[in-house]
């Protein structure tokens, strides 16, 4: 059966052209990085469609259009593919590097397409481009190969590896035999490349959307556990972390809890409004977070109250950290409405005891100790008696 490669190229262009508007319209429902990455991917599909249409006209229009312009558009689509995926992965986009690679490859293709026509060299230059862009994608995707890694990212790696295999077959054909006069001549290597190019927009788009869905789900989980004002854990997340740490066992040393409350916070709200109070709470959270140790868990339980969970901490270490936090907060340089503002905190300390039934029991005891600090005059740390 004879397969017309120009027709296959047009079919690939049609698929990309149909997918592009769907993704571009879908971006209206998103914002931020998600919207930007989806829009870039929509543009990628449009560029691929245009590139394959121009390539399919080889021999019917000027080589400037079917070789130089067609390859330039496809090179731009490769660069934008890499940028969209790196953006979605949360790594630097390297736009200058992507543009430099694309320009160098395009000039090489143009030289061996018009000035010194050489199909074999054009393929080698294009293969170099694929290798460069693939490397810039594989490096941030490598974490997916670890146990429990992202399934969506593994699917994208499979798409990229498939492209590498297709290009490998094409290069092997050039190394081992005479060079065909062009891409649309139906040699085995060309056939594999054109077929893959026709179906690649669909599979790559599926992998991209799977990656986007994983990212969106992770963002939703993070937002569900984050206090929007301070950026710390919210009460739900704190409860989950407290149960997790409690269930791991007290050990020696065990689990300590600090309950912190901003002193006279109502007066700050009354004088500077809720916006001023919110700025104070955000600054307070940053100040506290800066003094904690790796592994400590910090969050806001509501209003002006915060909780710090201290795993593997004895009572003496918990009290020392509480005193450090109290002094650090009192020295924070705060400005509200152009005026210096001082804020202090009262802190209650509790240490897990054998009689504690669950994490809630421990946190409630820390809360009772906090109110002892309040009754004693505020701006102080209250703790249970130390055992000998």
Give me the numbers of helices (H) and strands (E) for the chain, helices first please: 12, 7
Please say whether the beta carbons of 159 and 203 come within 8 A.
yes
Angle between helices 359-375 and 235-247 in degrees, nearest 10: 120
3-class SS at 57?
A: coil
Which residue, 240, 237, 287, 245, is CA-closest to 262?
Answer: 287
Report in angstroms the alpha-carbon separations of 167 from 16, 130, 193, 377: 20, 9, 7, 75
Ranges assigned E (strand) in the chain: 254-262, 297-302, 305-313, 334-336, 339-341, 345-351, 381-382
Distance CA 98, CA 80 (A): 8
Structure tokens at 102: 């694309």
Structure tokens at 36: 């930007």
Distance CA 61, CA 309 (A): 71
Distance CA 351, CA 353 (A): 6
304 included as an active-site residue? yes
Please say whether the beta carbons of 45 and 205 come within 8 A.
yes
Residue with tokens 């160098």: 104
Other beta carbons within 10 angstroms of residue 110's beta carbon come to 19
Out of 80, 173, 200, 304, the active site residue is 304
Distance CA 115, CA 355 (A): 86
Q: Give the residue numbers marked as catalytic.
A: 304
């Amino acid at each position: 059966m004879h397969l017309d490669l120009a027709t296959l190229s047009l079919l690939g262009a049609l698929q990309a052209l149909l997918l592009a508007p769907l993704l571009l319209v879908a971006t209206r429902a998103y914002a931020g990085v998600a919207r930007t990455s989806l829009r870039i991917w929509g543009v990628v599909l449009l560029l691929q469609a245009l590139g394959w249409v121009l390539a399919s006209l080889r021999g019917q229009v000027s080589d400037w259009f079917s070789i130089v312009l067609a390859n330039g558009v496809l090179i731009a689509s490769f660069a934008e593919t890499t940028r969209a995926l790196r953006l979605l992965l949360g790594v630097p986009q390297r736009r200058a590097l992507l543009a430099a690679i694309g320009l160098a490859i395009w000039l090489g293709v143009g030289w061996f397409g018009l000035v010194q026509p050489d199909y074999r060299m054009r393929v080698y230059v294009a293969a170099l481009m694929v290798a460069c862009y693939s490397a810039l994608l594989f490096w941030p995707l490598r974490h997916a190969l670890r146990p429990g890694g992202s399934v969506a990212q593994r699917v994208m790696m499979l798409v990229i590896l498939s492209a590498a295999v297709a290009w490998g077959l094409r290069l092997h054909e050039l190394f081992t035999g005479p060079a065909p006069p062009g891409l649309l001549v139906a040699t085995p290597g060309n056939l594999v490349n054109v077929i893959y190019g026709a179906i690649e927009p669909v599979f790559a788009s599926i992998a991209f959307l799977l990656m986007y869905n994983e990212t969106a789900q992770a963002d939703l989980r993070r937002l569900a556990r984050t206090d929007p004002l301070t950026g710390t854990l919210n009460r739900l997340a704190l409860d989950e972390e407290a149960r997790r740490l409690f269930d791991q066992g007290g050990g020696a040393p065990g689990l300590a809890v600090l309950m912190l409350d901003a002193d006279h916070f109502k007066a700050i709200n009354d004088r500077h409004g809720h916006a001023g109070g919110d700025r104070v709470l955000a600054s307070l959270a940053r100040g506290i977070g800066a003094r904690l140790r790796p592994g400590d868990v910090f969050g806001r339980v509501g209003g002006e109250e915060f909780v710090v969970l201290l795993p593997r901490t004895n009572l003496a270490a918990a009290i020392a950290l509480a005193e450090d936090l109290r002094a650090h907060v009192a020295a924070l340089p705060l400005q509200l409405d152009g005026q210096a503002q001082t804020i202090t905190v009262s802190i209650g300390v509790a240490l897990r005891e054998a009689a504690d039934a669950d994490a809630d029991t421990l946190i409630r005891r820390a809360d009772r100790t906090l109110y002892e600090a309040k009754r004693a005059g505020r701006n102080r740390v209250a703790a249970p008696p130390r055992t000998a």
